[in-house]
Amino acid sequence: MARYTGPDCRLCRREGMKLYLKGERCFTDHCPFDRRSYAPGDHGRQRGKLSQYGTQLRAKQVMKRIYGIVERQFERYFEKALRMSGDTRENLVRLVESRVDNIVYRMGFAINRKQARQLVTHGHFLVNGMKIDVPSYRLKPGDIVEVGEKSRSMNVIKQAIETSKDRTKVPWIEVDADSYKGTFVRFPNLEEVTDLPVDVQAIVEFYSR
């Protein structure tokens, strides 16, 4: 399945909630969702009550869209989470949270995950001193992520660092913005990922039908 390339705000309207896909803009008066919070399309205002299946489907879609992951890739993450020992819900969250594009965003080197994915693809980041250009590359605890030497003068990265100063920091990541680097300290626990507005259990039930 191809990656969605349409307006990000349309996805927020479809899910009936802000997914914060555009970063700081989502917190301003310019956010289109605040003006049109109903679903897109001719019948968007006639949203009915969801069935159990519909609720599970929407939970899966929300999580997939927040992290910018295509359908087949998200299915593979679930299959891997299912095979791992422990809580499948927590395993799934840990798999997507440890992606390098997500960590770049969490560290404040990009204003949103889409921008982080683009910056990683263009080779602006190093992991343990090695250039990484695969956004889905998964980090291990102790891995160090840093902005490449030649990329530190980029306005887009400087602006991201400045605007992310007020962003809530997460305990599984340590960042030294002045040196353009950070450390992925550990995998997060499920309850620590407080900005994920979905019931992950519903996603497990969706794939377990």
* pLDDT given at position 150: 96
pLDDT tens digit string along 59-77?
999 999 999 999 999 999 9
User: Which residue, chain included where needed, has tokens 């920091």?
Assistant: 169
What is the β-pairing status of strands 173-176 and 144-147?
A: unpaired
Residue 195 pLDDT greater than 70, yes or no? yes
Fold of 8-95+194-207: Ribosomal Protein S4 Delta 41; Chain A, domain 1 (1.10.1050)
Q: Where are the domains of the chain?
A: 8-95+194-207, 99-184
Report the alpha-carbon distance of residue 148 to residue 181 in Å, rounded. 9
Tens of pLDDT, residues 34-66: 555 556 655 455 566 889 999 999 999 999 999
Phi then psi dihedrals of residue 170, to 5 deg: -105, 145
Residue 48: predicted pLDDT: 66
Residue 209 is predicted with a pLDDT of 85
What predicted TM-score, i.e. pTM, was given to this entire model? 0.80
> How far apart are alpha carbons 86 and 66 in whole angstroms?
24
